[in-house]
Amino acid sequence: MKKVVRLTESDIENLVRKIIKEGDDFSWDQVLGNQSEDNESDRWSNLERDLSSCIEPLIEKYSTDFGNDSYAVIDAIYQIMDGMFQKR
C-alpha cells in the first residue's frame, strides 16, 4: 500500500528552498521515503535512463533548428507526443 503524503504550503516552500539549495543532490526519495515494496523506484530510474538515452541525441541533433535551445526541442517533442496521444 502506498503512503499518502500531505504537505502544507509551508512544507512545500521549505522543500523548494531545499531543492534550490541542494541542486543536483536533492532526492525526492529522501523526502517521501521509499514508498515501494516492489522496486518501484528502480522502474522509474530505468525508464528515466532509457528515455534520456533516446531524447538526448534528438536534442543534440535538433537544437540548432530551434535556436540552440534544448528546452525548445523538449517543448517541440512534448507537442508532438501530445498530438500523437490525443483523447478521441
Q: Residue 17 has which C-alpha cell? A: 528552498
Residues 81 and 54 in one domain: yes
Print the domain residue range for 16. 1-32
Domain co-membership, 58 together with 85: yes
**For residues 30 and 5, what is the distance between their CA atoms, to the nearest angstrom?**
13
pLDDT at 45 over 80: yes
18 and 48 in a common domain: no
With respect to residue 70, please indicate whether it lies within any of the assigned structural domains.
yes
Residues 46, 28 within the same domain: no
Domain count, the chain: 2
Please indicate, yes or no, whether residues 22 and 51 belong to a single structural domain of this protein.
Answer: no
- Residues 76 and 52 both lie in one domain: yes
Assess contact for 20 and 35: CB atoms under 8 A. Answer: no
Tens digit of pLDDT for each residue in 48-88?
888 888 888 988 898 888 888 888 888 888 888 888 876 65
Cβ neighbourhood burial of 50 (10 Å; 0-12, 13-18, 19+): exposed
For residues 28 and 63, membership in a common domain is answered with no
Question: Which residues neighbour 58 within 8 Å (Cβ) at sequence distance 6 or greater?
Answer: 73, 77
The whole-number pLDDT of residue 35 equals 55
What are the CA-CA distances from residue 7 to residues 13, 20, 57, 70 (Å)?
Answer: 10, 18, 37, 32
